Amino acid sequence: MKIVTIVGARPQFIKASALSRRILAQEAINEVLVHTGQHFDDNMSDVFFREMDIPAPKYHLDIHSLSHGAMTGRMLEAIEMVLAEEKPDFTLVYGDTNSTLAGALAAKKMHIRVAHVEAGLRSFNMAMPEEVNRILTDRISDYLFCPTQVAVQNLETEGFRHFPCTIINCGDIMYEAALYYRDKSAHESRILDTLGLVDGQYILATVHRQENTDDLIRLRSIIRALNKLNEETPVVVPLHPRTRKLLDHYSLVPQFTVIEPVGYMDMVSLTSHARLVLTDSGGLQKEAYFFEKYCVTLRDQTEWTELVDGGYNILAGADEDKIVEAARTLMDRTGSFAAGMYGDGNTSAQIIQALKKGR
């Protein structure tokens, strides 16, 4: 069996690491990795392949720094050429990026079966490019691997049981990766010593989504909130290169600690030792939960509604006062973190078993 796997953005490298490692142990499966180039900075891309022992991509398409339409179109054309050359049994895509949609669309038009890992997620905000990508990818996928029962229910509500596809609640592939790298990062990461951080005495924050970075009012409000929280508890922000440029462009001055994007080992260490997490990232919301950290989400909606319902996550949007209030609330919150919400850590095995059966 041959699988062509499409990746292009940082979270997808993490997800792919768990599944690719399991595929390598299967003699009957050949995986061809395609890197679209959507994340091209070394700290956002190449370092992941080195650090996480992911096989080097056979194809690197080097497509980035374009508008959504231009990027997706270029990827669609290039991926089509790869699929024509490789003739796989399945094309496997992750998440909700332009790379995801381009890979799924190219495969479907060539009558190659599509497997979507992290299917069924919904923020119910069609202004988000990611929401459009995930809805369209789900609709044309043959195998929908859902991370939670909520994701399965979303698909059922949209009528997917009447479509010619297979829906499987296999747990969260990110949870499997987090478990694997948690112990490894404890031995390999020195990020806390390098930054002079004390376990449990700092806030980790990330800001990168366009809904925040491309809206000056929202971006200014978030920066003010982080500055205010930094007066009470040190705030550390690994900052996306694009966001850093926007801060400079708008003359927004961070009074918290800004660092370059870090590799996954360092990010696991920063997350697992933080007192609190603030983020607009979908993946980091979950990783905070995996490491039993409360999270303030800098968005108006989240795909991970079960975290909000469980009290592990507060949606604060980009409102300065709400962000500060939510952070203060969660820093004082104590309680146990429910087990099993995202599966048992064996997601990759279930995906491979389903694809083998489907072949």
- State the catalytic residues: 208
Q: Are strands 143-146 and 30-35 parallel, antiparallel or unpaired?
A: unpaired
Q: Are 57 and 33 in contact (CB under 8 A)?
A: yes
Q: Are 8 and 99 in contact (CB under 8 A)?
A: yes
Cite the beta strand spans of 201-249 per DSSP E: 203-206, 235-238
Q: Which amino acid is at 354?
A: A
309 backbone dihedrals φ, ψ, rounded to 5°:
-60, -35
Number of residues written out for the chain: 359
The C-alpha atoms of residue 131 and residue 269 are separated, in whole angstroms, by: 29
The C-alpha atoms of residue 63 and residue 75 are separated, in whole angstroms, by: 7
The C-alpha atoms of residue 16 and residue 20 are separated, in whole angstroms, by: 6
- Packing angle of the helix pair 320-331, 216-230 (nearest 10 deg): 40
